[in-house]
Structure 1
Amino acid sequence: MSSGQPNIVFILADDLGYADLSVYGNIDFETPNLDRLAREGARFTQGYANSAVCSATRFALITGRYQYNFPGGLEEPLVRVGDNLGLPAEHPTLPSLLKEQGYETALIGKWHLGRPPKFGPLVSGYDKFFGNLGGALDYFTHRTGVGPDVPKDLWEGDVPVERTGYYTTIVSDEAVKYVKTERDKPYFLSLHYTAPHWPWEGPNDAAIAPTIKDLFHYDGGNLKKYAEIVQALDEGVGKVLKAIEESGKTENTIIIFTSDNGGERFSFNWPFLGQKTELLEGGIRVPTLFKWPAQVKPQVNEQVVVTFDWLPTLLAAAGGKPHPDYPSDGENILPVLKGAPPHHRTLYWRYKSCNQRALRDANLKYLKINENEFLFDVVVDQRERANLKDKKPQEFERLKKLWTDLDSRFLPITNEVFTHGITPDIQADHYVPHQLTRNPNKRP
């Protein structure tokens, strides 16, 4: 391994709620492997996702930039026009920038950033890919829907493959094989589970799969079943952690665990209100764990962090930095992990449903849902109940204006992007995102 660079394993859950892990407060079931990861590393209490939905957060993760820079990042248009939209192959990414630092790179699990041949993991910096290209699939049939005519979505590289078994287990076993592979270079492994995303199938439910009428599975699921799905995720992570330990490289391996957005219908998001697709804290606050024994002591950290921080942070750990033409909107949080005090952050969100808007500035949060506007202190009032709009009118107006100023820097949400994969006057084919924005994460 060159120059003592750390191996990096980035584990991303799908629709996992803030308190779905017992270390974050779940009392209905245990997640011993992730709890251990939290005890041995840093557990963040103020970790955020860049979006309240899946693919938008993934744009932010892989580019280190606000997803609103990209037509495909505008709140799930890939579901309708995935062949026309995606992560532009020419855009620098976390894996491509780590490759420049000498890393081998792999994605095992979920991609959901546009479909080949125009888009895909292998054209965006990953040397190896095994997993699903779309947003969801059945855990057993590995199909994107229900019925024999619905295509399967399981790939190795750009070749469709067959596997038998529960998808969470399959992905975990592939990750174990990757970690155990002998190599001369450091590696970056993105391990992106679909769990605990619907359909509501636990590891012993192979017989249920043929009876499901659609993957949304509105007539199924319950708290017990959800626990089985999350515990299977925890067991899979445990296998990977054990493989890292057996490789003898635990000390200089960075392990990160988080979720792409807040939990859905069966999640435990306490103490927060809201869930996936909502900009209340429950829709965007996520469990966030970081372990690097060689550099970071075990801790509970109150620093506000968000998905796009991982690109500059991991590049710094590897001895690199973001591409100068595509500056990151996130920040390197290694200094805080190594003892610097938590500091002020300004973070921005929007979501098309109910015209939702949110901005967090220090402890204050501006929130708009339809025509209702709020100002909350989300540190003191975690339930977002005490509206300070009239008590602190100057702060309310300041944050509202700051949201508008930041919003003006990004692509508008239009019907065109959801029907044709374009935004007004901007063809996805010729879109150069860095020409349109400055760094909005820095306070004006």
Structure 2
Amino acid sequence: MSPHVAVVGGGLAGLTAACDLADAGLRVTLLESRARLGGATFSFRRDGIAVDNGQHVVLRCCTEYQALLRRLGTADGIAMQDRFRMPILTPDGAAAELARSAAPAPLHLATGIARYGALSVADRLRVLRAAVALRGLDPTDPALDEQTFGDWLARHGQNDATLGALWNLIAVAALNCDAAEASLALAAMVFRTALLDRADAADIGVPRLPLEDLHVRPAEKYLLDRDAQVRTRSAVRSVERDHDRFRLLLDSEELTADAVVVAVPPDTAAKVCPSQAGFSTRQAGGLGAAPIVNVHVIYERPVTDLPFAAAVSSPVQWIFDRTDVAGVASGQYLAISLSAAHSWLDTPMPKLREVFLAELARLLPAAATTPHSRFFVTRERRATFRQGPGSGRLRPPAATGIRGLTLAGSWTATGWPDTMEGAVRSGHRAADLVTAQLAGGARS
């Protein structure tokens, strides 16, 4: 009989690991504490429409996530740009955009920055000089993880204008923190990988389907088709080493497995794993958490023809048209995505309504004269870990101090920020280790 592997956690990392392990011919049991799968990337129904818990995009450089969708048969659920173009909404209503040319990297962005109307000519030159210097950084250098991106930008001539209209526009969305608080190592990774090293890497893909239909249910079906067990409402309280096997303690039963992948948030992982694994509650606590808030508005008529846009000098960060993906039959459904949303996390609904309806009316003139039928807010208090200086040394590898026990999650040491791509990469790594260890190969 094939070895039995338990995967603890049904988020994107756990689903990826489970799919890999099932394909390797192993017996897989996926255990999720909640009533649903999806972890930090899930959908729900509200008044007849499909709502994602957060707005996600996929860049062309997110190769492993796209490969997963191809495997699940849902790759056409991403609408990918032919060429990077980011519409920018400015306070004075002037049209602006960041876009790439057909030139090879790094020249592909030079023309776009030179024409970027949200910055003065002098500030565009500042950005170009800093981009050249940024391309020379090595994101794997541990010394970079001890510095903030904001300090590095200040040393390289950046000012409030370039921070607001460019660097934070991308850093806040990608790292869920302001440049002043972001790890320089992670920021260098984001800007080099997405914008500077390959011409097409930053082309933006937006889901055409709710996350539930894009990867959650398809992954569940993929597992069931391969005779894996998928169990929700099955919280694992601890994992213990039992001679050459593992014993998993649930609320009302015990399970045994030959290997375990723990793919849950860091604080839960530290509680579940035995101390010999080498990942402590103190280490998990050091990673911290950062919130994301999403403001949802459904207008009675369309107010913009943009599929998405970023905003500068506004409390609005990003706006996405979710009308079709949500199944809204008439009018237009816009979602405002607010990363690093500490200041909005506990703001009462009436205040959010007051601020963001007024901002949408200012940024999108048609919104000022169009009634809205629905307004609601979703809040993710622990959307990502806190991706600041020192976070790199706190992120554990997939391998633990116990052979056969591995960690997965976008918070582990993937080299990527806390994203769907990072989650998928972590799942692959954990599954590869388990497969090799069960075959007598890699050791912790």
**Does the alignment reach a TM-score above 0.5?**
no
Q: TM-score normalized by structure 2?
A: 0.24
Higher helix fraction (1 or 2): 2
